[in-house]
């Protein structure tokens, strides 16, 4: 059931709606980083608008240039480390579209569901990213205590969190949040295992950008499979 859901999700990756969600996530992330850099440049210009005079040296004019080049280096470093988590968070805002694309292709006879508003999607994405960040920061303590099991801890923790999030997303579109939580508890082991399957590609650069889309698609299939059972 899990493998079949996963393979169906992979097979649908070329779907234009999947690609649209991916490129929007990456595009908005780049726009966010550019806006952040522009804001830093404005702040530096404001801070250095008044010339700085040092005793015995005189007026110093190169501090603004130094800070500007330094801010560029800072943004480059931040983009390396933040590109994936930020893009994943932004992409998560549009995952309802991924679930709808899966249902249109594989479950065309299902009745329509209410569209998830931007603010509802933003709230759920922020909550999920907050839990994900806090949990992984706590995991660093476990990595230090049990270094031989660090990889297992990473996959087990993120598999649990990803499974919890994506199954709830898929199920609550059809049966609401309360029933989705009940189904999640009923099939917890299966959902955790499927989440671990999603967590493995997180270790690979660029491929991990697709995980939110692949996860939403896989768990939409998984939800329909367990609900039939």
Run means of pLDDT, 10 residues per run, the chain, 229 residues: 87 89 78 75 68 56 59 60 57 80 90 72 72 76 84 85 85 85 90 87 72 87 85
Residues 6+ apart with CB under 8 A from 80: none
Cα distances from 133 to residues 5, 65, 86, 88, in angstroms, run 27, 35, 11, 13
pLDDT at 221: 92
pLDDT at 69: 62
Residues 6+ apart with CB under 8 A from 40: 71, 74, 75
pTM of the model: 0.73
Give the whole-angstrom CA distance, residue 122 versus residue 227: 27
CB count within 10 Å of CB 180 equals 19
pLDDT at 64: 56
With 0-12 CB in 10 A as exposed, 13-18 as middle and 19+ as buried, what is 96?
buried
pLDDT at 16: 92
Contact (CB, 8 A) for 22 and 91: yes
pLDDT at 134: 78
pLDDT at 55: 60
């Amino acid at each position: 059931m899990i493998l079949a859901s996963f393979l169906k999700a992979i097979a649908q990756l070329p779907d234009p709606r999947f690609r649209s969600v991916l490129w929007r996530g990456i595009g908005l992330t780049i726009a966010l980083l550019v806006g952040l850099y522009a804001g830093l440049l404005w702040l530096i210009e404001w801070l250095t608008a008044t010339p700085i005079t040092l005793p015995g040296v005189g007026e110093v004019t190169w501090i603004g240039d130094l800070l500007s080049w330094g801010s560029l280096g800072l943004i480059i470093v931040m983009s390396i480390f933040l590109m994936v988590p930020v893009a994943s968070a932004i992409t998560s805002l549009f995952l309802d579209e991924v679930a709808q694309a899966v249902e249109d292709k594989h479950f065309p006879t299902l009745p329509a569901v209410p569209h998830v508003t931007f603010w509802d999607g933003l709230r759920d994405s922020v909550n999920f990213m907050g839990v994900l960040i806090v949990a992984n920061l706590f995991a660093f303590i476990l990595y230090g205590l049990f270094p031989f099991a660090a990889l297992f801890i990473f996959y087990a923790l993120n598999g649990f969190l990803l499974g919890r999030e994506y199954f709830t997303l898929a199920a609550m579109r059809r049966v609401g949040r309360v029933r989705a939580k009940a189904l999640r508890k009923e099939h917890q082991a299966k959902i955790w295992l499927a989440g671990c399957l999603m967590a493995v590609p997180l270790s690979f650069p660029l491929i991990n950008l697709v995980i939110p889309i692949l996860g939403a698609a896989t768990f939409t299939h998984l939800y329909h499979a367990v609900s039939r059972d």
